[in-house]
Structures are given as C-alpha cells and as structure tokens.
Structure 1
C-alpha cells in the first residue's frame, strides 16, 4: 500500500514536503473508538477492523515507541487512552502520573533481572510432587532428573540447571526483548503536574465548629410532571451509617429546571465531627398528590414519589481537603429497592458520564475558613485506657456478621475496646461498627488503637474491605493483613478484591497498590486481575477507575501485553462467529434442518479462514493462562459446533501439543452474564479447599468459568462427562419413562468401568454426591433439572449452570417447581449402594460424609457471608441486598449450636429423600420437553 500511495502522491504539488516514505505510517479508528497506529505493515484489515474504511497517513516522531505502547494499551483494555487524557480531573492526572513513574521503575528493574529471577517473578511455579518426586515425612525429595524446560517462539529449548528443589516447571514463554523506555519532556509534562501544599497555610478540620452545610444552586433535566412539587433530600453517611438526620429542601414547581427557596441545607453535625470518608448522598424526587393503591406492599414508602434520580459525592477530596466551590453532579436514574431515607449510600460516588440526558444537580460547598481545611494526619491522634467485662463481650463477639448490634452493645464494645484488642482481636469489625464516627475524639482514638492492633488472618481481614468500613486507616490495615496471603490464596479471593475497588472513593488507595504489586509480581494473578477489570469496563460507574488500573498494570507488565492482546483478539473472533450463527438461525428459522446444516457449514467456513485459525491457535487460555490452546480442531464437523440454546454458545475444541495431543474444550457464550456462575464456582472451589483442610476430599469439580466482557465469557468443558438427562434418555425408548429408570445411571457407570475401577467410580460418585448435596443446599442453588447435573465416566457427579442461587427457586403459575432442599434421588442412592436395596452401610457412610461436610462449612460461615457481602454492588441479579445473604445465615444455622444445626440438617436430608419423587416428576417433564425439541 505504501509504494502505491507514494507513486500516486508524486503528482500532487506539495509532494516534496512529505519527506521519506519510511517516516510515515497509517492510523485508523478501530472498533473500540481508539486511534490505532498500524506499525505492522503485514496486518490484515479484517484483523484491525477499522470503524470506517478510512486510513490516515501520520508522521512518525521521536515518541513513536510511547505512542505505539499507548495504542496497544488502549486496544487491550477496550478504552482509548485519549479518553483518559481528556478527563479534566486533577485526581485522575495525579494518579496516572504516579502510576507512570512506578511502572517505569518496575520495568527498569525487570531489565536488570537474570533469567531465573525473571521466571520466578513472572510465573511463580507451584510445587509439584507427582511424576518422580517422593514424600518423606511430609517433605518432597528432589528427583535426580529435575530440570526446567522452556519453549521459545524460535523452537529453541533451554534446560536450566540447577533449579529450586521439588519444582518441575514446563511453560511456554516469549523471550523478553530489550525494553527501551523513552521518557520525553512532553510525556513527563503530561504526567508530572502535581500541586504541592508544602508551605501553604492550612486549617485543621477539627478546629471548625460550624455546622456542615451545602447550597443547592439549581437542578436541570429533572423530567417531572408540570404540577409536581420537586424536592431534594441530602444525607451524610459513613459507610451505611447515617451520621445525622437528612436535610430536605423546600418544594419547587416545574417540569425540567428548578431552583429552591432557602437553598442552603444545614446538617445537624459540626464540620469537625465529619469522618474522613463521609459521603454526601442526594435524591431528587417529585411528590405525588395522589397515590394509587398498590397490590404489593413492597416499597410503599417510594410509591408516592414520581422519580428518584440519585447521586453521591465525597465531602473530602482525595488529598483529604474539605471540598469548596461549585460542583455539578449528574445523577443516576436507576436505584435499588428499599433505599434508606430514599438515599443510596452504597452507590457509586462517580457521576453519570452520560450527561446529555442525565438529571444535573448544581451545588455549592461553602468556605468555613480563608485557608484550605485539611483532615488531620495520623500523628494528631491519642489513646486512653479502659475497663474490662469479658463475659458479656465474648457473647457479642461470637455472633455472625449479619447480626445487628443495639446501642447499648455498641457502647459496651467501645468501652472495652482494649479488652477486645487483647482477647478478641478478630472482633475488630464489630468494634468499628461501634465507633461514633460523628465524634472526632472517638475517631482519633480508634485510629491510634489500630496501630497496636494484632494482625488478623487474611480471611478475617477480608470483612474490613466491606462498604461498612470506609475509613482510610481501617482499609490500609486490612490491606496490610492481606499482604500475608500466598499467591494461591490471593487468587482464591481476587474476584471479591476487584469488586471492593468500587467501595474505594479515591483512585490512589492501598488496595489498588496491593493488587498492582501482586499482579505485576505473578503473571497468573495479573492475568485474572486484567480480565476481572476488563470484563466490567463497559459499566459507567467503574469505567474510568478500572481503565486507570488496567493502564497502570500494562505499563508495569509490558511483556504481558502481547499475550493478553492475542486473547482479546481471539474473543473478538469468537464473538463474530457467534453473531454469524445467530443471524443464520434467524434467516433459516422456518426450516430447522436446513438452518442447522447451513449455519454449521458457515461456521466451519469462517473458522477455516486463515485470519480466524491463526488468531484462535497457539493461544494462552483465558480460563487458565498455564494452558496453551494449540491447534484449533475445526476440520471435523463433530468436534467444533454451536449449542442449541437461545444464545447459540460455541463449543470449540483444541488439540494440545504440550498435553501429549489431548483435546481441550471451551464454551464461548455471548449474551449471558456469567458473573453469577463465576461467583458460585469460586465458592464451590473454596468449599473444596476447606473440606480438604479438614482431611475430607469430596471430589468436587469446580470447572473454569470467566466473564470476559459485557454478557460474554468462557466456560471450561469437563471431559468424559454427560448429563443425567442424556444418560436417562439413551437408556429408554420413551422419554416420559426415562426419569424413573433407577438402573440407568448405575448401568452407565458399569459400561465404562469394570472390577476395581467400578468400585473406585462408585466411591467417587458417593463422595462427590455428598459434596454437592451439601453445597447446593447451603448456597440455595435452584433450577436443578437433569441437564444441569452431570457425571464423569470416572464417577464424579457435578452440577452446572448456576443462574438461580440463594434460594431463588423457579416456579410456574405461582407454584414452586422445586420442593426439595437439595437433589438426592433414589437412582443416586441406587448407585451409592451398588444396586442393593434397603439402606446399607454404604448409605450410612454417605450420610456421615454429608453431615461432616456441613459442620465444616458452618465453622466458616462468617467467611461465606463476607464473600457474598463484598459482591453486593457487582450487579448480580440475585445478590442485590443484605436480605439475599440472609439465606446463607439460615441454611448454615448460624446462631445455633452444632447440635441444633445438625438436627436441622438431618431434617432437610430426610425431606430431600422423602420428596425426591417430585424431582423425578420435574425431570420427566424436562426429558419430554427436550425430546420434543430434538
């Protein structure tokens, strides 16, 4: 293209001014609205996918390396850096400047690393005792042939000796190129604009005794009825605690634009008593003259209001300075159920970026001093000695996190705070809920106490990152406790740690630094941090925050960019294939046979194109970056296919060179939100870990699941497995009778196992069935039809598809379709007892497994409640309020003794057996419907 362009340009008058051809390059606007520079002249336009068929010729300059890096990062994170450049927010500029410097320093350290240091820093190999290592007194002995095998792009193989004992590392990496870090004066000027307060006269907020107030200037685009009376309600919150009575404006009439008489809203709290993390929350509503009778009593306190746009902002800015001056807040229109005082303190503090149609609230923060008012640094705090009352305290501290504390109990806890530190250090969350955050003296004493508080275990410290604990020092303390986590443990809780970034009011915070540090030190953590952030970057409330963190990660992990970029491109290709299939099924909807044939043919033709096969091959799996998906098997019709459900998921099969030619399957979904499945599988993985820590292995199969974008993601295919429905249908000629054939499952296992292998398979089935009975009961997993339960040929039973959790069971015509606490049918019992009738010793062992597993989970009830609470603002359909989490408290019988809880579980177990016939009826209906569809 370049030579042809240059030849044609010679006929134009200003051609000599162009200079050399090599000093120019093409630029386009891609599908992500990012200006992408086309450095690689061999790339195809079908891979670049320009938004418009227009290429712009631009001049290469001395900052080419930086521009290319910026372009790559913009494409990778799905948000152009020019959008971040355009944000006129000093906090954003300061954060980017700081992250730029830290990333540059990290990459300079990477350049100085030896090969071994680089491998250990990026890949952090795990201990592996199989394949040659022996165990002596719990310690693995190093086999004689231990070595590290590294596969390079150039097909070179290097064997490194010696290596760390007990470790066998087999990875595919790209040899890191020598990195040239250009730091031009232009870039430095962009990132290093910082305002220093050194030498500036300041006022301590604790010296300001005036009552806090704000001024309502105006409201626009309120979209109220002409005759409606519009009011503004404002409240000050610390976490979910209302610090004082909300302030309410006077009424204003009009449809769109509003001003209010007596526009100053004064709050019954002094400026000096405002906590550092105070949120100012607004709701704009129109009072209805007549309220229609509602059939449902739900939200009756909201029914008399026409609209409730809401918006939140911090009282102190990210530097700890009390805000002053005018600010325009663009409101959010959607709000959760049961808003306290019609305010939404748990909502984002970001204003709505879609300003064109959003209600706008113009407010003014008055000045209380001629100097900036600053929240005091830690060295201003002090502490006191206190009394003790251990017995009463012990009873309070043993309650679960959902238990409410009365005012007398809060006062007692605060009075005995040093006793809490000495005897109940894990009770810190309850102490924090007892602090009167509206009194700066109490707040100062708490901050001093934190400095001498014993370090909590990482699992206990997770609760402190909940929205109820917004104090900066508390969150820094919690992050300090998390630093003791191993990489494996951090990976276990990474999903929640990304979600609680939503609770951080400022971009530059301890949690952000912690996650970036650990992600840049371990490639696998970095991989999942990237995808957890990128999968939600389309959400306006977190778009800027997550983009800033992604940019910081990429700048500090430049060698990882190309690996991630290939995954992003591969997912884009899969989305195109899926959309092609959906289009084909719509066009050929009249003829199902014709539709299947033509659409499958179109899919295979698409996958065989070089642009697709190259992008989709030799790919590090987003589900597990340790797995290289080598060769796409798309030349065999029976291998790759699309599934016959509404969203037409793709079933893609790979041949793996590094796994001796074994195949691996992944399912790509486009149109389904996988985040609830991802959460459920994470909890199942945690349950498996807790059981194994107690020496109980229940053979759980927590297969991989990863949300990668807006209602898109991947699911791991479990090999050699089939659904209960298929097993039953293949054993019977009549679909209606298949569900009642109790021998079908046992016969299926017998066909695939014989002798000792059958004994092992039945034991695997028994253990896994016990694990999933307990897990599905505790988590309240619903929609358990026979296509949502699978069995592997080795005997492991496992559940899939977790669209209904926490007791949200499906119903039809107002009647619950699922009447059992968990699935335990007689054909399951038939397998467990190896076909014998009556309850045998095998069944007794199975029941014992269930009870033991249940009691282990009860001991960790607080952890489960914490993990679900940290996901409350993720926007999952069945996890929107604390009331949803109440199901866990009930199923785990928290607040009861072990004996009482076990009695409750045994009743549920007997109920599952007694009512199992209802499950068989549901399965029969499902099998008949499935048979009719086929």
Structure 2
C-alpha cells in the first residue's frame, strides 16, 4: 500500500527544511471528467487551492460547463480511509491530511450551511454522515430523524437563553484544581472463519394470539398483540395480552391453530477451505437458545449431527418449549455453530470446535415480532467459559466484515396477515393484589440474610421462590433488594412479567449508586432500565461524571438505539459541557469497534447537533491529537533505522521532532485548546525545548505546555499511541471513587488520581505530575551501584529532607503516611500487580502514588511459572523508615499509619457492592483482565464480603503483617529492575 500523504507531509516538514521545498503534488478530478495535476502549497487553505485549480482549469476543455466556482467543493479520502467532504474551506491542506494526494471536485447539491455542519460532524466523530445515510436500517433512519428534531428544539432553547443561563449550560461552573498526573510505562502490546451458513427460522403459530384494536399510530395497519387465553371460553384475558374491546366495530381475528412455540429449520454449507480445515468426515451442529439477559427461557434447541464435506442439511424443525405469548419483550435468539471432531483415543467425549456465534432480538425496535428474511453475519471470536457455546451477553449487531464472516439467513414466518406487537405498558401491567398470607419470623430472617449478600452471590431456586413470594416484604423492608427480586422472576411466564411491571410503579426510588446495578446485562427488561434511569436523574453533575465511564459501556447492553439511557446521557451531556466533553471522548475512543460503531456514531451525531457551539472546541482537540499521532509515527519511523550509534540516532530523531513541532501548522493546531484530560484547563502554547519522547517501545510523547492562567507554570501531558489506556482509566476512576468515599467518612488519604483518557484505538493521554519522581530514580541517585540502591533505606527520607525543611518536612512526612496508607489498601483491594520501583512515585510535598495499571484483579506477574510478586501490597522498610521519621522506635507514628489502613479498608468494605457493580458493568468493554465474573471474584475475596467486620479486619491484619514480613522479596525485585534499567541506559 502506498504511504499516506500524512507521512509524506511530515517527512517533508521534518527533513526537507534545507531545500525549502514546501509544495505538494496533488491530482485533481473534475466533474467534467478532466484530470489535472499541479503543485500547491502544503499550508494553503482549501479555498486558495480551489482558486488555483479554477485558474488552471480555464485552459482545459469543457471549462464553461463547470458553472460557478461557489457551486463546487472538494472531496477526499482522509487518513482514516473515510470519505470526507471539505465544506469548510478555511482549513489548510496540511490539516485535512488526505490519505493520498488526490482531491475530487464535486457539485454541491444542498444548502451550504447544512453541508458544512454535516461535514464538520463527520470529521469530528470519525465517520462520514453519508455512511449513516447509506445504511438501509429503518431503525437508524427513525432514530436520526427523531434526534434531529430534538436537537433543533434544543438549539432553539439555547438561543433564547440569557448570558447567565448560557454560561451555566455551556461551561463548567466549577474549575477543578490542576493536579498533575503520573507518567506510566508502556504496557505490553497484545482469522475470522470465512464460511457460509444458512439458517432458516420459523416461529410456529401460537394458540395464544388474539386480535387487538386498530393501531392509533398507523391507521392503515392492523397490529396484533401477544396475548394469552388460558381457555378459549374464559372471559378473563391475562394482563400481558391485549384486552379486546367487545363493543368495538373491529371484530377480533380468528385464533391460529394450536401449535407449539418458536421453531427453527436449518441448512448449512461450508466453503472449500474450511472443509479441509475440519477434515473430511466432520460433523456439524447448530445450537440455538432463547435468552432474557443471561437467563435461558427454555431448553436450547440443538440440531442433529450432520456429516459431509460441503453441505449440511437438517430436515426437521428445532422447536423451543415456550409459547410466543410468554416471550419477554427483550428476548434474544442466540446461535452457535460448531464442529464435532472424531472421538480421540483415551477420551470418552467428542471435541466440539466452535465456528461462529450470532444473536438477534425476537422483537424489533417497534415491538413487533420479527417476520421475513434476515441475514446475520456472525462473529468467530468466542469469549472464554461459554455455556453450551451460546453467547447471550454478546452483541446483537451483525459483523460488518461480511467477507470473512459466517452468514446466517434467517426467516421469521408470518403468523397471520398482520404484524404482532408486544402490548403497550397499560396492557402489560397487572393490578397488584398483595397476598394476605402471614409469613413466619423464620422466613423474614432468612430473607434478610439473602438480601445482605453481595451481587456475585448466586440464588438457589428455593431462595428465588421465597423472594418472589415475599416481594411485598422486600419492597417495604428491603427496597435496595430490587436486583435480587428481578433475578427471582420467571421471565418465561407472562404473569410474572406483568407483576414486575406493576411493582415498579410503586417501588421506592433507589439511590443512584444502588440503581447502577439495574443497568447490568442481567436486567434487560425495558421497564426495569427505565426505572433505573429515573433513579439516576437524581445524580448531581459531579456524581454523574464519576460513573460516566460505566454508563457509556452499558450502552452496549441496549438492543435498540432509542432508549432511556441514551436520552438521559444526551440530555445531561448537552446540559453540562464538562459531562458532554467526556461523553464525547468515551464514545469516540471506541468508534473503531465494529460491534458499537453505528450505535456510538448515532449518539455522537445527536450530541453534536444539540451542542453546535461545542463542535469547534472538540474539533480543535481532534486535530491536535492527529498532529501528535503523526509526530509519534515520525519518531517510530526514525528509531527503527539501522543507526550504529544510539546516541546519534536519538539526537537525530529528537531534532526531527523539534522541527516538526516548530512548524506553523503544528504550533497553531497544538496551541490554545482545551485539554481533553480536563476541559477546564486551557493549553496555551507548547514549550518545544522541554518536549521529548520517552524511551519505551511505543515512544510516548512528553509534551510540555506554558500556561498563563497557571501563573506561568508548565503543564505536562503524555501522548501514547499503541497502548490501550482503558484499564488504566478504569483503575484511576476507582481510585478517585475510593478517595471520595474516604472523604465522605472524614478520612483524607491524599490520593493523586491523575488524569488519564483513552481517545482512540490504542491511543490516549496521561497527565504528568508536577514535582514528582519515581522511587527507582530517587534510589539510583543516592547510590553509585544500581544493585545496592534498592536496599538503601535512607534514600527516600533524605530526598524528602532535600525538598523540605522544618515544619514543611513534618507535613511532607504526614502526607507520605496518609497517601501510603491509601495506596496500600487500594492496591490490595484492586489486586494491582507489576509494582516495581518505576511504577511508584513521590511528590516533593510527600504524597506517594502509584502509576501504570496494566495488571489488576490479582493478575500478578510471574516468570518461569514463579510468582515475582509475593506480597499483597507494597510496604517496604524504607517506607516505614519515612513514616517513623527515621526513628526506629517511633511506634506511635507506625501505629497511626496502621490505623489509617484499617479505617480505609473498613470504609471500602461498606461499599463493596458498588465496586462489584462498577466492574461488572465493564465486562463487555474488552479489557484484557476483566472478561468474566470470575475476574471480579477477586474483589469479593479481598474485601472479605460475606464475613463480619471483625473477621474481615482479622484477614486484613494478616495481609498487613505478611506485606511487612515479606517486604525483602520486594526489595529483591526492585534490585533486579534497577540493574536491568541501568544496563539499558
């Protein structure tokens, strides 16, 4: 593939200054079919380039047929391989950054203002709006149309605001203090089956289908709702069904013949290459299951084994033992295709080789039971530990990479001549009638014990029956137990569903923190999620910002684009620019993921249309990050050359970096922008002389800014390109929450939750802590021998003495004591590993803090099968030496430190359910060390959930003593790290 124009421009800019060559050869394609090649200035605006082209085009044939110049604009393919319309002609060519030096001149076909806005939004979100226009999905069209109307109304309200209201709505009311942040080390950088599969699905007609009145929304279309008639001669119809108006002039449609529930017929064919991979006599099966969340609604349907090389055909139907009327609104149909390998000697069972999986909703976004033919392109990457190879937690979106994906052709049958719709809320809700049975005290004690369990605790069937029977007791005495009640509902019974819908109307409002759990995948019911969002509306903007990362992730669990959570996030984001800023970046950073690309782009478009004044601010940040990426790629290109002298190589590369940053195009783009890490901070101008790149695999950029608003102080930002920062971002968010919980309990442990933000595919920013250094550097500067530096217990205390004197030293030691206690507890609870001396830093004011969270939840590093980290958390004797102010017998200070640790631990225990919930909501984010519920089990163990406070405190004290007793192993690891580091330098 030819090199991108971006690389060419950067190479010219950095290495061709001597020749003064500042022109770019560009190919121009005219709508008349004329091709023109000409050299244009790389820093010229699009408008100027168009003038040059127009002048040149006058000498070519068919020029008069072009018409007016203003009626045309340029198009290109940008560096992201996305078609882009260059409506904004004030941009320079070097800022446009086309993938290949080619511009196409096209005729404008609509209002320029609308085209300009669409172009800006497309560039901003990284996906051209024409791609959304081309999608044949009616749900996409309806969502965009609805959001367009809402956005227009929003902007009209903004125009009517006075200055005070506008400032409050558009800008952060409180400026957060700029706390520097840590520079972490680079993390470790981490074929889809090309097959053709055809599956035909038939939902047989159910005896429980009854007619409904003509739809009010669509008079010309008769809609039939799902209903349940226990007996055709009974007068009473279940609440889940449609109540037929006996006086209506529209008579009910006749009932279909009595048959079983949904059924599936299958036909499967593999391409030649896959047949060879699966051997000659391969047997293939298809498994299908109906799910509500993770609950299997009935026994999975499994095809018979089919042998053959190219075609696999099943002539019988796969039936599900459930009536259509009992299907919940959010039921999803999950498929798994797998090959059965021949039995191996010494093995009693055959080996099942997974091939593909795919999911689809049974009802569409309008609530209609799906009918007709649907093609689903499946996914070939299977999560670990799947039951029966079905993946209900997986996306319902089909694989956009259709060429390498197994295709499933599904046919939903037409039951009757009219669409069947799930009944509206007023028809679903069943009148509540609390049972008059008096339960014994024993049952209430058992219920209380169940309700106090953590979210990971499993409920047996007897316990579920008890909870459901005592549901009114739960509502009155344990309202926070709603998640456990919902897990006890039999979602395959429409009577239970109707009861839940009614209960939610009278259930006391939960606190926002408790309501977060209801957004987990286990609770897909529409009314449950609407109830949860209703509880979240009580959140302050500050609290919402704290949980925004999880709220964006659980959008993955929403099967339809228009939902309560999407509207809530858009409303709050457009009402507060700080929330809108991070909502934008959390969404945009995952636009490269095919499972959420369309969904997130739709939400981003809706946000931008309702926050037009914010577009230019965000656009400036996107352009700045693009520039930093090009600088990073330039450095990587320079460092891979075979240069004998590493010193000479580094000097040449740094010079190229400096030259690049000094260019006017880079200087202007990288200056005077709001920091993506903190929109309250304005990054004024780069201090080029202090900028550098770090000597690690991905060559992160260390960018230093001068800031007039900070009294002339500098502010550092690290740009990483090639590392996934999302796990660091999650860990720092939890540290920030711990800090908040401790402060709420009047315990300030001086935590430094520095800024970290993922901005794209394996790229992002990290704040740099001011006046801080690593333990490794502090130790190495105190000793001439790297191997001995780790064992110098006076190094850290002496460093603090150099930075502080008198009362300032005493305060610095107190800061160290408090922060050390906080991070000891936090790193133990979160199971943070890879704690070498370059991953722990100390500020000159005494605050200790940890950086680089590539290993969490007990995933400690090992070598040759031997654990390198043997302590539950880092507590070395040189830390104790500082805490005791250099006095060996100062047990009072050490006793205070230990007491801080115990207090902090007990506070976190009281909020254990919240931590479990927040990690559970991140399960589908794709983090390498958070892929299943088993990973979260570490939190339950470290917090000793299920034990009394006394038992938990005893466990923590044992871990504390272990950390102190085995601290010598930490010193040995640090010594090895220092030696390796010294040899590299």
Q: Structure 1 length as normaliser, TM-score?
A: 0.90
Shift of 1:57: 2.0
Which residue of structure 2 aligns with residue 268 of structure 1? Answer: 321
| SS of alignment partner, residue 766 of structure 2 | strand
Partner of residue 405 from structure 1, selected from 444, 450, 459: 459
Q: Structure 1 348/681 Cα, relative in aligned 2: closer, same or farther at 3 Å?
A: same
Q: 2:104 aligns with which of 16, 31, 56?
A: 56
2:165 is aligned, of 114, 117, 124, to 117
1:251 CA drift (Å): 2.6
2:420 aligned with 1:366, yes or no? no
Asked if the contact 1:725/1:786 (under 8 Å) is kept, the reply is yes
CA distance in 1, matches of 2:395, 2:790: 49
- Displacement of 1:591 in angstroms is 2.5
SS of 2:152's partner is: helix
SS of residue paired to 1:513: helix
C-alpha spacing 1:42/1:467, structure 2 compared with 1 (3 Å): closer
Match of 1:337 among 363, 367, 384: 384
CA positional deviation for 1:20: 2.8
CA contact (8 A) 1:567 1:619 kept: yes
| Contact 2:749 2:822 (8 Å CA) reproduced | yes
- Quote the offset at 1:219 in angstroms: 3.4
| Worse-matched range after superposition: 81-90 or 34-43 | 34-43
2:292 alignment partner, one of 226, 238, 251: 238
Q: Which sits farther off after the overlay, 788-797 or 114-123?
A: 114-123
Matched, 1:472 2:526: yes
Q: Given that residues 210 and 271 in structure 1 are in contact (C-alpha distance below 8 angstroms), is that contact kept between their aligned partners in structure 2?
A: no
| Matches of 1:396 and 1:923, distance apart in 2 | 46
Q: State how 1:202-601 maps to structure 2 within 5 Å.
A: 202-207=223-228, 210-221=259-270, 223-224=274-275, 225=278, 226-255=280-309, 257-262=311-316, 264-291=317-344, 304-380=351-427, 381-382=429-430, 383-386=432-435, 387=437, 388=439, 389-588=443-642, 590-601=644-655
Tell me the equivalent position of 1:764: 815
Residue 451 of structure 1 aligns to a residue whose secondary structure is: helix
CA distance in 2, matches of 1:801, 1:358: 36
Q: Is the 8 A contact 1:214 1:365 kept in 2?
A: no
The 1-side partners of 2:51 and 2:424 are apart by 64
Does the CA contact (< 8 Å) of 1:32 and 1:75 recur in 2? Answer: no
Q: Which of 57, 68, 91 is the aligned partner of 2:139?
A: 91
Q: Which residue of 1 aligns with 2:237?
A: none
Partner Cα separation in structure 2 for residue 498 and residue 784 of structure 1: 30
> Partner of 2:699 in structure 1?
648
1:199: Cα distance to partner?
5.5
Whole-Å separation in 2 of the counterparts to 1:528 and 1:827:
40
Q: CA deviation at 1:324?
A: 1.4
> Whole-Å Cα distance in 1 between the matches of residues 554 and 589 of structure 2?
15
Q: Distance in 2 between matches of 1:368 and 1:25?
A: 52
Q: Does 1:674 align with 2:725?
A: yes
Cα shift at 1:839 = 5.1
Q: CA deviation at 1:56?
A: 2.0
Residue 104 of structure 1: aligned partner: 152
C-alpha distance in 2, partners of 1:359/1:129? 52
Matching residue of 1:826: 877
Are the structure 2 counterparts of residues 255 and 640 from structure 1 closer, same or farther at C-alpha, using a change threshold of 3 Å? farther
The number of equivalent residue pairs is 861
Change over 3 Å in CA distance of 1:255–1:696 after alignment to 2: farther
TM-score, normalization: structure 2? 0.85
1:742 aligned counterpart, secondary structure: coil
Separation (CA, whole Å) in 1 of partners of 2:90 and 2:62: 28
For structure 1, which segment, 12-21 or 718-727, has the greater mean C-alpha deviation from structure 2 after superposition?
Answer: 12-21
Q: CA deviation at 1:384?
A: 2.3
Q: Distance in 2 between matches of 1:329 and 1:316?
A: 15
Secondary structure of the 1:583 match is: helix
Which residue of structure 1 aligns with residue 222 of structure 2?
201
Partner SS for 1:235: strand
Bigger CA drift: 83-92 or 910-919? Answer: 83-92
The alpha-carbon deviation at position 21 of structure 1 amounts to 2.8
Distance 1:198 1:60, change over 3 A: same
Q: Distance in 2 between matches of 1:769 and 1:762?
A: 10
* Structure 1 residue 590: Cα displacement: 3.9
1:551-572 deviations in Å (ceiling 9; x for gaps): 1001111111111111111111
Q: Secondary structure at the match of 1:834?
A: coil
* 1:793 has 2:844 as partner: yes
DSSP-derived class of the 1:818 partner: coil
Question: Which residue is equivalent to 2:240?
Answer: none
Question: Partners of 1:198 and 1:697 in 2: how far apart?
Answer: 63
Q: CA deviation at 1:928?
A: 0.5
Give secondary structure in 2 for the equivalent of 1:352: coil
Distance 1:575 1:691 in 2: 38
Q: How many Å separate the matches in 2 of 1:48 and 1:711?
A: 22
Secondary structure of 1:361's aligned partner: strand
1:66 has 2:114 as partner = yes
Check the 8 A contact 1:236/1:244 in 2, yes or no. Answer: yes
Q: 1:40 to 1:321 in 2, by over 3 A?
A: closer
Whether the 8 Å CA contact 2:266–2:315 is kept in 1: the answer is no
Cα–Cα, structure 1 residues 788 and 95, in superposed 2: closer, same or farther, change >3 Å?
A: same
Distance 1:304 1:426, change over 3 A: same
The aligned residue for residue 692 of structure 1 is 743
Pairwise CA RMSD: 1.9
1:592 is displaced (CA, Å) by 1.4
Q: Tell me by how many angstroms 1:17 deviates.
A: 3.0
- Equivalent-residue separation in structure 1 for 2:709 and 2:176 (angstroms): 17
SS in 2 for 1:528: helix
Answer yes or no: is the 8 Å Cα contact 2:86–2:119 preserved in 1: no
Deviation track 1:201-224 (CA, whole Å, cap 9, x = no partner) reads 222212387433243353355634
1:78 partnered with 2:126:
yes
Q: CA deviation at 1:80?
A: 1.0
Question: How is 1:866-881 mapped onto 2 (pairs within 5 angstroms)?
Answer: 866-881=917-932
Contact 1:630/1:657 (<8 A) preserved? yes
Kept in 1, the 8 Å contact 2:87–2:119? The answer is no
| Number of the residue aligned with 1:804 | 855
Return closer, same or farther for 1:16/1:547 CA change in 2, 3 Å cut-off.
same
Q: Contact conserved, 1:25 with 1:38, CA < 8 A, in 2?
A: yes
Following superposition, the deviation at residue 737 of structure 1 comes to 0.4
Specify whether residues 93 and 813 from structure 1 end up closer, same or farther in structure 2 by C-alpha distance, changes over 3 A only: same
Distance of 1:858 and 1:456 partners within structure 2: 20
Residue 786 of structure 1, CA deviation = 0.2
Alpha-carbon distance between aligned partners in 2 of 1:710 and 1:803, rounded to the nearest angstrom: 17
CA contact (8 A) 1:216 1:362 kept: no
SS at match of 1:70: helix
Question: In the TM superposition, what is the alpha-carbon distance from 1:127 to its structure 2 partner?
Answer: 8.4
CA distance change for structure 1 residues 588 and 594 in 2, over 3 Å: closer, same or farther? farther
SS in 2 for 1:412: helix
> Equivalents in 1 of 2:831, 2:766: separation in Å?
22
Per-residue displacement from partner, 1:119-161 (whole Å, max 9, x unpaired)?
011124038999xxxxxxxxxxxxxxxxxxxxxxxxxxxxxxx
Residue 58 of structure 1 and its aligned partner are, at CA, apart by 2.5
Mapped partners of 1:48, 1:772: distance in 2: 45
